[in-house]
Amino acid sequence: MEIRKLGNMGLEVSALGFGCMGLNFLDGKGLEKRDAIKLIRNAVERGITFFDTAEAYGPYTNEEIVGEGLMPFRKDVVISTKFGCKNAMPTLGLDSRPETIRAVTEASLKRLKTDYIDLLYQHRVDPNVPIEDVAGTVKDLIEEGKVKYFGLSEAGVTTIRKAHNILPVSALQSEYSLFWREPEEDIIPALEELGIGFVPFSPLGKGFLTGIINKKLEAADRRNVIPRFSEENIKANLVLVEALSEIAKQKNMTSGQLALAWLLSQKPWIAPIPGTTKLHRLEENIESTKVVFTADELTNINATVDAITLIGDRYPEVLAKQIDRS
């Protein structure tokens, strides 16, 4: 698989990463630990070197699965994890105090069964802690050899610039897909200017762009709290999936593959991290890295999406408040 560079500090990852959150945390359909570990190792065998987790996924249990799954390949893979949620629970608020960052890092190292974290993200920007203090703390951890690269998640342009002045930011992880294109306005131009990589999470619109969601979600599905996934909004937004499916058929691929290939075509420093619990979906996702669009095809996709108005917020109110708009 193609290797891409994130930032200017030397971080290299597979063009397509693996978002591990859903292995045991998302949608009410997690895998047994042994099956999750097996899927992680299948991903490595198929060329994926970039794996994303966080203490908040579980909490804690996802890091343990990722650590055990990647232990045989540790020197050949990139593991990213995150700090910044109070007691590892996003709904409780934020906490990026320097002492918390250090404590979380030490605990993550143990759960991941490693002596270094490749990419350490601030999960959400904490308005009560200056970003300069956050970057300075991670800088110390890098000097101590416990962390290699620094990342931010869902940060605004002003915060990104302030952090980057203290410690080069290698990657920003934020939502970006054909289901959510807001980063194109200010974020992507700023990242390009500063030489920072972009790691889109939910590149398949939390599964919506695959076309498998066309009715009310099951009661246990965690997406029920997201306004875009109300029964009414699912019905309204299906026009997007239908339009993308028609375009995908012309390229003999699935709408999910189209969505991932579109992201990969945007910039050479973008590395999406789709998640899955199924081997055939993993293989389907990987096939998207082989797709090449012509300029006309990309123009057609963009024009199609631009003509559709999507309905519903991407976060419930309690989590929407944590998004940095600076």
- List active site positions: 57
Rounded CA separation 13/97 (Å): 29
Q: How confident is the model at residue 10 (pLDDT cuts 50, 70, 90)?
A: very high
Instruction: Over range 302-310, report the average pLDDT.
Output: 96
What number is the average pLDDT over the span 138-153? Answer: 98
Domains of the chain: 3-320 (3.20.20.100)
Helices 187-194 and 157-166: crossing angle in degrees, nearest 10, is 20
The alpha helices in 154-294, defined as continuous H runs, are 157-166, 187-194, 231-250, 255-266, 279-287
**C-alpha to C-alpha distance for 52 and 80, rounded to whole angstroms:** 5
Quick check: pTM over 0.95? yes
Considering only 14-28, 169-183, 287-301, which range has the smallest mean pLDDT? 14-28
Q: Is the pLDDT of residue 28 over 60?
A: no
